[in-house]
Amino acid sequence: MSQLYTMCECNSSVWRMAESRLTTTYGEFLLMAYWSVAEPGEHLAIIKGTFPLREPVLVRLHSQCLTGEVLGSLQCDCGEQLHEAFSAIKSKSSGVLLYLPQEGRGIGLVNKIRAYALQEKGVDTVEANIKLGFAPDQRHYGVAAGILKDLGIRSVRLLTNNPDKIQGLEQHGVQVCARVPIITSANGKNNFYLAAKQKRLGHLFGITGVEPSEVESANGVAENISDGIPATLGTAVK
């Protein structure tokens, strides 16, 4: 192999394979490509600006969704979440978006299409995965944590509605100091999907009932769940 690569010091075997500048409608980014033995596929770190490495960094863990992001499917909110995350990072002038090859919550594109077919018969997104022989959510976040560690990031403000991502990073040694909700809206076609994510997967549409106790909302206000007393955390992310 002619390209130089380095092995990251992390719990999973992660290699940084390539990097270049990336110009987007959201501004200039540094694009890094990673490869992992633990989770084969091409993992991307999309980095904007610079950040003090001892301070929490705004981070989004985003699972690939070809149907929602490329084909414009209205059956999910993945494309909208991706754009909201980029907008949040742009408004802060710094942050990291990890684009992870986890199509269909980790079941792959072919099985995701099979799950779509089952959903046409009335089962929800969770039950469809189960009928295909998978767990409701097959994703793991050790590789994501390894990439963040390679970037020198040990604490984050995580753009997510999914508590599993918080737990997944913390299990692998990355501290989640605050949750920043991703705000999207139902479109009439994805209401059933969003309801299943909330009721069956525990996704959080709002800022209550989440661990860790400090949650940062899109307008820059943190709510301490334990005592209900809000505290200003700085400027807005949207």
* Residue 151 confidence (pLDDT): 93
Domain membership of residue 194 as a residue range:
6-102+139-232
Q: From the CB of residue 94, how many other CB atoms can be counted at a distance below 10 Å?
A: 14
Is 122 among the domain residues?
A: no
d(CA 78, CA 162): 13
Is 61 among the domain residues?
A: yes
* Residue 192 confidence (pLDDT): 80
Is 70 among the domain residues?
A: yes
Is 190 among the domain residues?
A: yes
pLDDT in tens, 178-228: 999 998 888 888 888 888 888 888 888 753 333 333 344 433 433 332 222
Catalytic pick among 139, 150, 157, 179: 139
* Residue 136 confidence (pLDDT): 93
Is 118 among the domain residues?
A: no
Say which CATH number the domain at 180 has: 3.40.50.10990
Catalytic pick among 77, 124, 137, 150: 137
Annotated active-site residue 150? The verdict is: no
d(CA 175, CA 160): 14
pLDDT in tens, 31-44: 999 999 888 899 99
Is 53 among the domain residues?
A: yes
Is 198 among the domain residues?
A: yes
* Residue 78 confidence (pLDDT): 92
Report yes or no: 98 and 41 within 8 Å, Cβ to Cβ: no
Tokens of 93: 């002038």
C-alpha radius of gyration, the chain, whole number: 18
Tokens of 97: 């978006």
Low-confidence ranges of the chain (pLDDT < 70): 1-12, 53, 206-238
Note the residue count of the chain: 238
Annotated active-site residue 16? The verdict is: no
Domain count, the chain: 1
How crowded is the C-beta side of 79, counted as CA atoms within 13 Å? 14
Helices (H), the chain: 66-69, 78-92, 103-106, 109-119, 125-131, 142-150, 163-171, 191-201
